[in-house]
Structures are given as structure tokens and as C-alpha cells.
Amino acid sequence: MQTMTYPQANADMSEALTKVPEVTLLFWIVKIAATTLGETGGDALSMSLNLGYLLSTGIFAALFIVAVAAQMRARQFHPWVYWTTIVATTTVGTTLADYFDRSLGIGYSGGTTILLVLLLTSLWTWQRTLGTVSVESVSSPKAEIFYWVTIMFSQTLGTALGDWTADTAGLGYSGGAVVFTGLLLIVVAAYRWTRISRTALFWAAFVLTRPLGAVVGDYLDKPVAAGGLALSRFGASAVLLGFIAACLFFFTHRASVKEH
């Protein structure tokens, strides 16, 4: 019987991996930190530096395009590249949602509705085109494009949804955090004790972590009179960035295995 050599085994294993991370507890911890950083970082540019929502969106969009290009050119999963791209989507999502909601006068409810339609349309088109929206299927350029477009819509939707819950619904930042934490716990329970599609639950959790990050980020940097802690946006962003970097440096991040 012919035995497989180690180089061949390594090549086969490489071909069996995607360029996105395995979904573990560590993944969700870094994701929540990244979404919170997106809120504080986006507000730091648009508000603290007074660049406005439109100009800030243009700057973050350019960074997002560069990051996605690097991610798509990579031949294998690189944690630093992947999470840089995720952070880029959260920052541009923050300023873009604020531009829709405030500068265009659409309001939180209008912005949330439009972005929800865009997100569902992206997922529907992805499903119709490739037959699945599972992250384990993200192994081709076309799937990567759908993946990052969907993530962009989900991050922007999450910002609008978080602001809507905290402001319009009158729950405040701490109340909003409790609501979205509770919803995430329901998703976890459904994952553990039901047969609901794991792919559907993944995207539900992915969307819900964004408004959680949005309300936590606002809680950190908004004035005390508005229900926040009035911390420096730049200081909070630096702490969150350091935390994410530590997670990437000290812990192993593995690529997800392709579907077969």
C-alpha cells in the first residue's frame, strides 16, 4: 500500500481549508471587541476630529477596499489580515450608518429597514448563486465577494439597530447591551438544544454582535449626561485595539475547513 508523504498531506490539508477562521468562542470574543472598536474608532474620526460622517466614510471605505484586496489576494488564512478587514468593516459601517440615519435624515428606523433589506438581499443572492451561505463554503473569489458584501451590510445594519434601540426605543446604552446580550444567549441556546440551521444561527449571531458592540462603544465614549462614561474615544479605541492584538498574538486562530 502506498503511503502519503508529509508534503502531500500538508498540501491536501491546505486545500481543505478556507481563508476565514474557524468559528469558536475566541472568534466571537474578538468579533465583539472588533465591533466595539468600530464604534469608538468611527466616532473618533467623524466626531472627535470633526471630519463628518461622509468624509470619514470615504476614508474608512478606502481602508476597507485595501484590506479586502489583501484578504482576497492571500492564498491562505492569515488572522491579522482577516481581522484587519473585519475592523475596517465595523468602522466604515459605523460612519455609513450614521450618515444614513443623521445626515440624510432617514432616521434610525428608516436606516435599519433599508439595511435589513440590503442584508437579506445579499444573503438571498448568495444562496441563489452558490447554493449555500455557509462560512465553510468561502473558498472561491466569488464566495469571498458575497461574504464581505454581506458582512459590510451586517455591520452597517448593526450600528443603526444599536442606535435605534438605545436612542429611539429609549433603552439607553446599558439597556441596549442587556437586550442584545439576551438575544445572543437565545441564539446560543438554539444552537445547543435545537436543530435550527447552524448557518442561520451563525448569521443571526454575527448581526447581533454588531449592535452589542455599538451600544457598548457608545456607553464608553458618550457624555455622562447622555448615559455614557465619557471616556476618550481614542483611549477606548487604543485599549480595544491592544486587546484584539493580544488575542491574535497569544492564541491560535485556525482556518475553517471547507465543505465537501
- Over residues 219-239, the pLDDT tens digits come to 887 777 666 777 788 988 999
How much of the chain, in percent, has pLDDT values that exceed 70?
Answer: 92
- What DSSP designation does 168 have? I
Q: How confident is the model at residue 260 (pLDDT cuts 50, 70, 90)?
A: very low
Residues with Cβ < 8 Å from 115, sequence gap 6 or more? 97, 100, 153, 156, 157, 160
Asked if residue 196 has pLDDT above 50, the reply is yes
What's the confidence (pLDDT) of residue 12?
Answer: 42
pLDDT of residue 39: 86
Residue 108 has pLDDT above 80, yes or no: no
pLDDT attached to residue 62 = 95
| Identity of residue 95 | T
> What pLDDT is stored for residue 71 in this prediction?
94
Neighbours of 226 (CB within 10 A): 13
Is residue 114 very low, low, confident or very high in pLDDT (cuts 50, 70, 90)?
confident
Cell numbers for 44: 473618533
Are 116 and 108 in contact by the 8 Å Cβ rule? The answer is: no
Report the C-alpha dihedral over residues 81, 60, 206, 198, rounded to 10 degrees: -50
pLDDT of residue 13: 42
Q: For position 226, what pLDDT does the model report? A: 67
Going by pLDDT thresholds of 50, 70 and 90, the confidence category of residue 259 is low
pLDDT at residue 220, as a whole number? 81
| pLDDT score, position 111 | 79
The whole model's pTM is what?
0.87
The per-residue pLDDT of the chain, averaged, comes to: 86
Which H helix or E strand runs over 41? helix 25-43
Among 178, 210, 200, 204, smallest CA distance to 87 is for 210
Distance CA 216, CA 37 (A): 10
pLDDT tens digits, 115-174 = 899 999 999 999 999 999 998 888 888 999 999 999 999 988 888 888 788 777 778 878
